[in-house]
Structure 1
């Protein structure tokens, strides 16, 4: 991405993997090649995320098992956070645990009250290999935790217990996108 360019403007929208598709449950591999293919992947992630009206998207959500995610997400003070992280590690998730509505582009049209910490820190690198640390609070902290989960083969439904989990799984079973 060149400085000043619009993320995803040159990307192509790719099909989303949905709950039940194998790539969504795979442990993603570390990125080792920081060439042009990685830049294309990041552009495609942004284009796909914007087309689906999301606030974050992990590479395995478009069938690519690499540790990369993008985000364009507000925090609770409506400050916009925009970027990408390659080989992210969730190094801190703390503060208050808040149950809030959470959805996912891989479970379209569904959401459930999911518990997440209200503060998160992710470390990784950019697509050019520069170190990056991303701090998030509130809704943006939720987004960071959610995207890091994806890269480990986890979806938000895995965090649910009891009636919330049962209700969401019933909704998934009735969903029109279910394969």
Structure 2
């Protein structure tokens, strides 16, 4: 099932997401649907708040660019109840986009490496370290679980310059190749 993507202006994107309990039913289906939505939207990562669910889970798949960056071979994962244990290395800038902020791309500085603890879709715990693009994707998606958007890393002037674009997004005056849900609307309304 392909979910519509929640866009800027929806309060859910600013909330701290809730952990997924051991009794949560439908986890594998949720993971499959999130991957399907991410592929349909042409993203490399997707967090549950972006599909209207206040849950601590995100999925990533950057394996399709392993030809350019071999360390991304097989980098397709679900991160359930993740916890960033540490970031390290030099900060580096890269142009980032976000499915919840269509038509906005900005240069964002993030640490080079991340160490993360998480459960996979079989509820097996992992502690792993990632660097480069993989670390960037993880940090971006993890931010969504804490109600943080990439625009929060911008200086006040840059944010003011984006105000009209952000207002347009919140009103649905944006072009996407995927379905979106406007703030205050429910799926199907």
TM-score of the aligned structures, taking structure 1 as reference length = 0.85
Which residue, 36, 41, 45 being the options, matches 1:56?
45
Structure 1: distance between partners of 2:164 and 2:134:
28
**Runs of 4+ deviating beyond 6 Å:** none
| Counterpart in the other structure of 1:23 | 12
Deviation at 1:130, TM superposition (A): 0.5
| Counterpart in the other structure of 1:95 | 89
Structure 2: distance between partners of 1:140 and 1:128:
21
Greater displacement, 77-86 / 108-117: 77-86
SS, match of residue 5 in structure 2: coil
Which residue, 150, 162, 166 being the options, matches 1:172?
166
Give 5+ residue unaligned stretches, structure 1: 1-11
What is the CA RMSD across the aligned residues, in angstroms? 1.9
Structure 2: distance between partners of 1:141 and 1:23:
24
Structure 2: distance between partners of 1:120 and 1:54:
20
Structure 1: distance between partners of 2:12 and 2:97:
18
TM-score of the aligned structures, taking structure 2 as reference length = 0.81
Structure 2: distance between partners of 1:172 and 1:35:
34
Is 1:47 aligned to 2:36, yes or no?
yes
1:43-91 Cα shifts (integer Å, max 9, x gaps): 1110000000000000111011110000002577242311111000111
Deviation at 1:169, TM superposition (A): 3.1
Q: How does 1:1-179 map to 2 (within 5 A)?
A: 12-33=1-22, 36-73=25-62, 74=65, 77-78=69-70, 79-80=72-73, 81-175=75-169, 176-177=173-174
Paired residues, number:
168
SS, match of residue 113 in structure 1: strand
